[in-house]
Amino acid sequence: MTVLTILNAPGTEIPDLLTDLGDRDGIELRIAEAETLSRALPGTDVLLMWDFFSTALRDAYASADRLTWVHAAAAGVDSLLFDELVDSPVTVTNARGTFDRPIAEFVLNYILMHAKSSIGSLADQREQKWNRRSTRDVAGSKAMIVGTGAIGREVARLLKAVDIEVTGAGSHARGGDADFGDVIDSSTLADHVGGYDWVIDIAPLTERTDRLIGSEVFAAMDDTAVFINVGRGDTVDTDALVAALRGKEIAGAGLDVFDEEPLPADHPLWGFDDVIITPHMSGDTRGWRMRLAEQFHRLFERYLAGEEFPHTVDKKLGYVR
């Protein structure tokens, strides 16, 4: 008997593809929410974090007596990981691959909106104002992509497809990368970020990337450059970002993630003319929940068959290596 527990958020639907697993011989399916997780965990072999931002496992972990695998239906696993889980033999997998292309398209959307002055055009439109002006070419512009994981690579490929030059910033400097060519050490961003038009943050949140991008980096950016974050809000010093925008040290931003979500209604970031705020949705294109369900379903079949997973999270690093 394999016991599969799905941790769900209140009011969120779980696709039939997953709930139907409970009808299979040899599988017991339990559906839990944060408050009931500690009761569901005893006997659970496999935990699916369908509530992908939940930190409930940390609180309930003492009740886990035979857990072998946790799957997070998300790319970032920062909210899931904690010391006892990291030090345990439990395998952790994530939604690697599911969000890559949607997020890359979202980044290109931010870039084009800034280059083509779209916020200004929509503002003019509301006043029926015919305000002809010059905009910027995207071809030939330069992007620094902070984070060289699967999503960062897909961003690089898409931007290169529209003739944007890309450089990567990762955990260590190297050359000859298939997608980036040169990769700089992201701890030296301030030394390299001048001359780039777009600085794109898609780094995983780890101890190393916590507040990685702060006042030094913003000061080193061109004042015509735009900062884009589709990774994790905590990789940025938000006060420094607000100060850089106020001081016109950078020209604007495209922000999908924040250190506090939802972004509070009174937060200064809402109010800048050259900042596009979106509510942590860059990866969520139509059918995204079904794609997440299908991905878990494929991994679960492998688990039942005793096969290896194509990728697992390096729990010490905090991301898939």
Interface contacts to a second copy, rule CB under 8 A = 101-102, 105-106, 108-109, 112-113, 115-116, 118-119, 121-122, 124-125, 128, 130-139, 158, 161-162, 261-263, 265-267, 270, 276-281, 284-288
Question: Which residue(s) pair with 81 in the sheet?
Answer: none
* Residue closer to a second copy, measured from CB, 19 or 285: 285
* Biggest distance spanned by C-alpha atoms of the chain: 69
Taking alpha carbons only, the member of 252, 116, 117, 240 closest to residue 189 is 240
Give Cβ neighbours of residue 291 (< 8 Å, ≥ 6 apart). 98
- CB 163, min distance to a second copy, A: 8
**Closest approach of Cβ 101 to a second copy, in Å?**
6
C-beta of 75 vs 220, nearer to a second copy: 75
Phi-psi region of 195 (alpha: psi -120 to 50; beta: other; left: phi over 0): left
Judged by beta carbon, residue 88 or residue 118, the one nearer a second copy is 118
Q: Minimum distance from CB of 194 to a second copy (Å)?
A: 20
- Residue carrying the six token digits 């509070």: 264
CB of 278 to a second copy, least distance (A): 5
User: How far is the C-alpha of 285 from the C-alpha of 308, rounded, in Å?
Assistant: 29
If the CB atoms of residues 23 and 137 are measured against a second copy, the closer one turns out to be: 137
Nearest-angstrom CA–CA distance, 315 and 78: 10
**What is the closest distance, in whole angstroms, from the C-beta atom of residue 260 to a second copy in the complex?**
11
Alpha carbon of residue 179 to chain centroid:
19
Minimum distance of a second copy from residue 70's CB (angstroms)? 24
Look at residue 146 and give its three-state secondary structure.
strand
Any idea which residue has 């600085």 for tokens? 199
For residues 279 and 262, the answer to whether their CB atoms sit within 8 Å is yes
Cβ closest to a second copy, residue 28 vs residue 294: 294
